[in-house]
Chain A
């Protein structure tokens, strides 16, 4: 990032930020100059870190990973080091990726969506960060990131993460929460150690039932006793070989908004299982009851319900593997095309593989198979491509439908649930052919 990029970042910061953390007018008036001074300080600090303007010393500037935004700067500019994301919320930061920007086989860090429940930790330095593994284990451990690298096999894999609420915006009646359209999905390359190897070293006891994940992010209320999010996995699921404790994303340090410096990556399960800013994995002898494990969070009714039904909490069950789904990443929605058009995209499913991908250009009346590639490794999404021919000029919709290894296909209509989870209906792209 050079100075001109940096100036661009500053512009974005100031236009997007309308002082969301001011509770009343008095606070706002007194707070404003301090915020401006803080930004000025941070701007000059980061400029020096990137070898730009003189005026402030950053002693370890030469160690600062290229392209990384200083942590203290990150929250003032929620989309720093991101490219083309749609900002849904700036406190906490939530941003999704338009479908046509997910065309890469491996999602670049700048296009990986952001789903935060709270505020960034005060420090995200890898140096001094520790992970504690405790609870129902024979050997409770506290490990540095270097310990993880030294004591366990380091592996790199393409792993997809999808927010459980991806697609919520299409629910009717509306479900509360961030109104994700299609873009809370990504498949980056993650480097780390296997959760199962770390759990084996800790010696999981026979009483173990569930993992409980804890992160360093800060509750929106500022109450340090409150967890923003603390979810977990059934102990059998936690032993899957494709679950990583990751310290690198696409070959470099994690992005602050994606959990720097350490996070879980649990492909195919709701993204909230992939705890960011990971500090502790506790093994419990009961189903975990941490923040957003209970009530209606990340749960769906145990039985089918009519849209709008008020379902009692005791009838809600924890979401596990995510359902089969696909996206059309080329062409973009609202494109002008010729009468023959290449079409490509991605398909994915939790705890299974995608075995078929079909597209339709006639609103689902007929379907043609696409070429579908196997995942590059377990836990990766799958790429697909085909070509369609339109019979005459006009408006068409390209629809995609994936079918998984259990014979389950994407549905046409949403299976409504109170909090708007698991919408895996067809992705539709409208084009004007001529």
Chain B
């Protein structure tokens, strides 16, 4: 619980401090040994996949709605299909789509380990 709010607070402070200046880049790594440079993921859990997810999704809506969810990979897949078919999202490049689904299904799964509501 504390750690989730800690991430949110950190993101907010980060936003304020760096507002209008060049955003700081951070390298994050996961247990599989993947590394990625992120620079602005809002309240999303800062792990590999967060930046591409943030970039695609926040074209239309805030990442705050993403962080509330707890879905299986199939559930997230359905949501992306709905976004493209009904909500006006452009078709997502397959390679990017897999990265986004991996990220969402890992950190925003039905157990909701990183829910802002916890």
In the complex, B12 has a CB within 8 A of chain A: yes
Among the stretches B28-36, B94-102, B110-118, the one at the interface with A is B110-118
- Complex Cα gap A197–B97 (Å): 51
B59 to chain A: closest residue by CB: A23
A173 touches B55 (CB 8 A): no
Contact with A along B3-35 (1 / 0, CB 8 A): 000000001100110011011000000000000
Instruction: Check if A36 sits within 8 Å of B55, measured CB to CB.
Output: no
B93 at the interface (CB under 8 A from A): no
Shortest B8–chain A CB gap in Å is 10
Task: Evaluate whether A20 and B58 lie within 8 angstroms (CB atoms) in the complex, with A14-B16, A221-B87 already known.
Answer: yes
Q: Does A412 contact B (CB under 8 A)?
A: no
Across the interface, name the chain A residue whose C-beta is closest to B89: A221
Q: State A90–B115 Cα separation when bound (angstroms).
A: 16
B58 and A22 contact, CB distance less than 8 A: yes
- The number of chain B residues touching the other chain, given as a range, is 35 or more
A16 to B61, CA, bound (A): 15
Does B69 sit at the interface, judged by CB under 8 A?
Answer: yes
| B117→A179 contact, CB < 8 A | yes
Q: Give residues 36-54 of B contacting A (CB, 8 Å).
A: 39-40, 42-43
Which A residues are in CB contact (< 8 Å) with B70?
173-174
Cβ-defined partner of B61 (8 Å) among A22, A91, A172, A174: A91
A366 within 8 A of B: no
CB-defined contacts of B43 to chain A, threshold 8 Å? 18
Q: Which residue of A lies closest to B66 (CB)?
A: A89
Q: How far is the CB of B22 from chain A (nearest CB, A)?
A: 8
- In Å, the complex CA distance between A15 and B23 comes to 16
- Tell me the bound Cα distance from A219 to B55 in angstroms: 19
- Please encode chain B, from 78 to 116, with 1 for each CB lying within 8 Å of some chain A CB and 0 for all others: 010000000111000000000000000000001010010
Residues of A within 8 A of B72 (CB): 173
| Inter-subunit contact B39/A25 (CB<8 Å) | yes
Asked if B1 is at the interface of the complex by the 8 Å CB criterion, the answer is no
> Contact at B65–A32, with CB atoms within 8 Å?
no
- On whether A20 and B62 interact (CB within 8 A), knowing A181-B117, A220-B87, the answer reads yes
Min Cβ gap A170→B in Å is 10
Contacts of A16 in B (CB 8 A): 12
Contact check: which of B23, B62, B68 meets A90 at CB < 8 Å?
Answer: B62
Report the minimal beta-carbon distance from B44 to chain A, rounded to whole angstroms: 11
A16 to B8, CA, bound (A): 10
Residues of A within 8 A of B56 (CB): 23
Query: Nearest-CB distance from B59 to chain A (Å)?
Result: 4
Partner of B40 from the list A28, A174, A221 (CB cut-off 8 Å) is: A28
Interface bits A41-53 vs B (CB < 8 Å: 1, else 0): 0000000000000
B20's partner among A18, A36, A91 (CB-CB below 8 A) is A36
Q: How far is the CB of B60 from chain A (nearest CB, A)?
A: 4
A2 within 8 A of B: no
Q: Which A196-244 residues have C-beta < 8 A from chain B?
A: 219-223, 226
Max chain A Cβ within 10 angstroms of own Cβ: one of B61, B112, B117: B61
Find out whether the CB atom of B68 lies under 8 angstroms from the CB atom of A179: yes
With a cutoff of 8 Å between Cβ atoms, the chain A residues found around residue B115 in the complex are 179
Contacting residues of chain A (342-360) with chain B, CB-CB under 8 angstroms: none
* CB-CB under 8 A for A33 and B20, given A20-B42, A20-B58, A173-B110: yes
What residues of B have a CB within 8 angstroms of the CB of A15 in the complex?
12, 15-16
The answer to whether residues A89 and B62 also contact, given A173-B110, A174-B112, A181-B117 and a CB cut-off of 8 A, is yes
Cross-interface CB contact of B23 among A21, A28, A173, cutoff 8 Å: A28
**Residues of chain B lying within 8 A (CB to CB) of residue A223:** 88
Partner of B63, one of A20, A24, A29: A20
Q: Is A88 part of the binding interface, using a Cβ–Cβ cutoff of 8 Å?
A: yes
CA distance A20 to B23 in the complex (A): 15
A169 interface residue per 8 A CB criterion = yes
Contact yes or no, A221 B60, CB < 8 A = yes
Q: Are B64 and A20 in contact (CB under 8 A)?
A: yes
Establish whether residues A220 and B110, one from each chain, have CB atoms under 8 Å apart when the complex forms.
Answer: no
CA A252 – CA B27 in complex, angstroms?
Answer: 51
Q: In this assembly, does A178 line the interface, its C-beta being within 8 Å of a C-beta of chain B?
A: yes
For A17, the closest partner residue in chain B by CB is B15
A32 with B88, Cβ < 8 A, contacts A20-B42, A176-B75, A179-B115 known: no
Knowing A18-B15, A169-B117, A179-B117 touch, does A25 contact B60 (C-beta < 8 A)?
Answer: no
The 16 sampled A-B contact pairs (Cβ below 8 Å) are A18-B11, A18-B15, A19-B15, A20-B42, A23-B55, A23-B58, A25-B23, A28-B40, A29-B22, A36-B20, A89-B65, A91-B62, A174-B110, A178-B65, A179-B68, A219-B88
Given contacts A18-B12, A28-B40, A174-B112, 7 further A-B contacts (CB under 8 A): A20-B64, A25-B55, A88-B64, A172-B110, A178-B65, A221-B60, A222-B60
* A-B interface, 9 closest residue pairs, ranked by CB to CB distance from nearest: A221-B88, A23-B59, A174-B70, A20-B62, A91-B62, A18-B15, A220-B60, A179-B68, A89-B64
